[in-house]
Structures are given as C-alpha cells and as structure tokens.
C-alpha cells in the first residue's frame, strides 16, 4: 500500500464526522499552518488555540481519558486506574478511562467532543494536533528527565534475514499509517538509507497494533515487523514474549514517546487542574511505575520543538495532514 493511499484510508476513517464541527472562526483572525479550518493558531506554536468566545469553552461534568491503542485496552485500564483516581481528586470531577481500539477512533472521539484527554502515539501527534484539536503538554520521562524510544525491525530468532537489505522480496509488517515507529520512520529509513521502497522492493502488511506485530513475528506469522521497542520491552517484562524468540536487525535514533494532551476547547481552569494532576502524580509504588519501569514522572513538552523530527519524517514520506 502506498503512503498516500494509506493516509487517505486513515483520513477517511478519522474524519468522516464533519457534522460535529463547531462554527469555523473568521479566516482573517486565524493562522492555521497544517491545522484544520475549524482551529486557530494565533501564537504560532503549531497547536490549536482556545476558542476566542468563552461560550465555546467546554467544562464537562465527566472527564474522558484514553491511552493510545498500542496494546490490550483491558490491561491498560487497570494500569491507569490509580492515575484516574488521582486526577478525579485533583480536578474534583468524575474521570473515566475510555479504551479505544484504533488510532482513528481516538482522533474521531476528540474531534467530535467525546474525548477530553488522551495519550497519543508519537507518529499520530501531528495528525491529532492538525485534525482533532489535540494540544499535547506532557510526556513520560525517567527521573533524570530523559525520555524516548527507538524503532526496531525485528525478525524471528531463526530467520535468515540479517539486515534491512535482506528484506528485499520479503514481507514487512507495519502497524498503522499514522504510527511513527510502526510505519513512518521505517518507511523513511528504508528508502533513505537502504534505497528500498514499500510494495516495490518488499511487500507490506498491516497488523493494527505494535503488540500484534510483535506476536506475529514471535509466532512466525510475519517475516519481519517494525515496532516501538518501548512496547517490546514491556511485553517482555510481562512475559508476553520471550527475548530469545526474536532478533533485531535495525535500531533507529531515539524518538519522543507518547504525548499526553487535552482537547483545545476545554475550559482553561479545567486544563490547569488536569496539568496539575499529571505533574503531581505520585509515581512511587503506582501501577504506572510497575508497567512503565524506566519512567518516573511526567515532563512538559512543546509540540513545535519536541515533534520537529517527526514532522521531518512525515515530510520525507510526502505526508500531508489532510483533514477532509
């Protein structure tokens, strides 16, 4: 599947709900860049601003939160339970975890007003920002503030594939066209560093999620897969896969990890409380600490600077954030 076609499929899934759109603000008041026409970026930070009219601000009785659908939603509902309780205490509102089965469903929920806070996968951040009014502000980090993950191309342990060049004529499993490590980064790297193009030099298939790709390689359903090694490490820690069941034939530079953010039209008082909940969450002894073992806190992020490398990868792949 070509990138343009893949993105078109995702755009069609994500953005077929224009009836939910709020009134579009006057063009002369707005700078937009890649943002959909319903959003404004007056401060040029590449994310949607709070609507100018306070009547358009949202102050929900119940805050809906979702985590990027990279793994089993049932597992992560429990992992996030303590955090959800903490946010409820800080905000004074009911907070509900909303398990989503696909990236498209997550973007659609925020764009249509049914989702208020989300952890969005690395590659999906620019799409969610541009098309769903997502405003990222936090990311998990270790105690010293370091963060990130790498994209790895993995193969079954006994595979004859020893390097990316050996993928020629083989099938590589991607996760989703919006995923950085599961599609965008490997596409750009294989083309730029190895002169290999998807569906020309190697065949492709899509698993939908990183854990599907990893299990597919381990069970030899896939010849190779491009995945986020942060997901891979967590699955090994949970004994979902064995470290000796696969081999890595390529490892990328470090990328920013899941970005956490809010809907652009949330009331600023609510946003302030949400941020307070993130940055005051007690990690020690929490289920989040048990699951995300190397992480110890949330740190502030800025989409314009921290996601610059991801937007460059998108540019190299010819991606445009078409929200129609």
Contact 177/6 with Cβ under 8 angstroms? yes
Q: Which pLDDT score is estimated for 169? A: 96
Q: Would residue 115 be called left, alpha or beta, if left means φ above 0 and alpha means ψ between -120 and 50 degrees?
A: beta
Enter the tokens of residue 228.
């986020």
At residue 225, φ and ψ (nearest 5 deg) are: -150, 150
* Token duo for residue 156: 């079954």
pLDDT digits (tens, 9 = 90+) for 252-274: 988 999 999 999 999 999 999 99
CATH topology (fold) of 149-255: D-Maltodextrin-Binding Protein; domain 2 (3.40.190)
261 pairs with which residues across the strands? 118, 136
8 Å CB contact between 298 and 279: yes
Residue 319 confidence (pLDDT):
85
CATH 3.40.190.10 fits 3-145+257-316, yes or no: yes
List Cβ neighbours of 247 (8 Å cut-off, separation of 6 or more). 154, 155, 156, 157, 159
Contacts of 88 (CB under 8 A, 6+ apart): 94, 95
pLDDT in tens, 203-238: 999 999 999 999 999 999 999 999 999 999 999 999
What share of the chain has pLDDT > 90, as a percent? Answer: 76
**Measured between alpha carbons, how far apart are the two ends of the chain, in Å?**
20
Please give the pLDDT value at position 281. Answer: 98
Task: Give the neighbor-by-neighbor strand order of the sheet with 117-120.
Answer: 94-97, 62-67, 117-120, 259-263, 134-141, 297-300
Integer angstrom CA distances of residue 239 from 229, 230, 232, 235, 293? 15, 14, 11, 6, 14
Of 238, 259, 277, 262, which is closest to residue 83 (Cα–Cα)? Answer: 277
- Helices 3-14, 103-111: axis angle to 10 degrees equals 50
Are 91 and 289 contacting, i.e. CB atoms less than 8 angstroms apart? no
Q: What pLDDT sits at residue 71?
A: 62
Structural domain spans, the chain: 3-145+257-316, 149-255
* Residues with pLDDT less than 50, the chain: 1-28
State how far the Cα of 99 lies from the Cα of 5, in Å rounded to an integer.
Answer: 27
User: By the 8 A CB rule, do 134 and 120 touch?
Assistant: yes
Four-residue CA torsion sign, 95, 232, 214, 11: positive
Q: What is the pLDDT of residues 107-139, one digit of tens each?
A: 999 999 999 999 999 999 999 999 999 999 999
pLDDT at 13: 36
């Amino acid at each position: 599947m070509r990138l343009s076609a893949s993105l078109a499929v995702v755009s069609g899934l994500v953005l077929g709900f224009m009836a939910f759109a709020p009134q579009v603000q006057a063009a002369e008041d707005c700078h937009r860049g890649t943002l959909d026409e319903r959003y404004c970026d007056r401060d040029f930070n590449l994310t949607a601003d709070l609507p100018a009219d306070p009547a358009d601000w949202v102050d929900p009785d119940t805050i809906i939160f979702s985590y990027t659908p990279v793994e089993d939603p049932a597992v992560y509902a429990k992992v996030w339970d303590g955090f959800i309780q903490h946010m409820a205490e800080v905000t004074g509102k009911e907070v509900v975890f909303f398990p989503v089965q696909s990236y498209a469903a997550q973007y659609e929920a925020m764009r249509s007003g049914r989702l208020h806070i989300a952890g969005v996968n690395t590659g999906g951040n620019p799409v969610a920002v541009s098309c769903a009014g997502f405003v990222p502000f936090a990311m998990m980090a270790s105690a010293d503030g370091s963060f990130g993950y790498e994209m790895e191309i993995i193969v079954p342990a006994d595979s004859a594939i020893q390097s990316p060049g050996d993928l020629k004529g083989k099938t590589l499993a991607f996760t989703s066209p919006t995923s950085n490590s599961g599609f965008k980064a490997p596409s750009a790297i294989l083309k730029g560093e190895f002169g290999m193009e998807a569906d020309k030099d190697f065949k492709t298939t899509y698993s939908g999620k990183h854990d599907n790709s990893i299990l597919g390689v381990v069970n030899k359903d896939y010849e190779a897969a491009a995945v986020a090694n942060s997901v891979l490490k967590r699955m090994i820690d949970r004994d979902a896969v064995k470290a000796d069941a696969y081999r890595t034939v390529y490892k990328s530079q470090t990328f920013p990890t899941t970005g956490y953010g809010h809907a652009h039209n949330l009331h600023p008082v609510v946003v302030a409380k949400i941020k307070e909940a993130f940055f005051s969450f007690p990690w020690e002894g929490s289920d989040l600490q048990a699951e995300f073992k190397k992480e110890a806190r949330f740190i502030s992020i800025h989409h314009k600077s921290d996601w610059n490398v991801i937007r460059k990868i998108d540019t190299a792949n010819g991606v445009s954030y078409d929200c129609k």
